[in-house]
Amino acid sequence: MDIFLTTDRLLLRRFTEADADLLVELDSDPEVMRYLSGGRPTPREVIVRETLPAFVRSGFFAAVERHTGAFAGWFHLRPARDGDPEEPELGYRLRRASWGKGYATEGSLALIDKAFGELGARRVFARTLTVNRGSRAVMEKCGLRHVRTDLQDRSHAIDGAEEGVVEYELTRAEWEARRANTS
């Protein structure tokens, strides 16, 4: 198992080809997919041919509960498409059974610390739909601040998409100041 990092309760490991069923289950939950596809599942063929190979190649990590071994979901820390490698994007998708346990915040904080502490990031950012209050709350708990709202034309109907996409960020200077204040 190729472990990227561990937290108190989570292990983040690299994806393997054997993880297709975990992703199919995750992306089949209408509530998990609510702000991503309007609740529509990702077809298995898409996961096997496109999603999983991309996850294996890039900065996506399967999140596993350390004490039970249960798949909790995934996180990513990677440059945005055509983006600056020193400004990685943070993202996460968790199984509904893992919601409300603080896993999104715990995994995100660990990835933010790794980005600045080991990977030389200048800035970490995250995006979500404006109406996705749960993800926005995680971003704020992690010290990211709202920097912009983009009103975009969405190709599929998602409730609230007309309110746009928000972007949050944390800069290296902000991260360093936060660490200095907690030491």
Contact 35, 92 (CB under 8 A): no
Residue 157 has pLDDT above 90, yes or no: no
| pTM as predicted | 0.93
Cα–Cα distance, 36 to 157 (Å, whole number): 10
- pLDDT tens, residue by residue, 130-152: 999 999 999 999 999 999 999 86
Average pLDDT over residues 120-133: 95
Query: What pLDDT does residue 163 have?
Result: 87
- pLDDT tens, residue by residue, 78-111: 998 888 999 999 999 999 999 999 999 999 999 9
What's the token pair of residue 56?
A: 């294996």
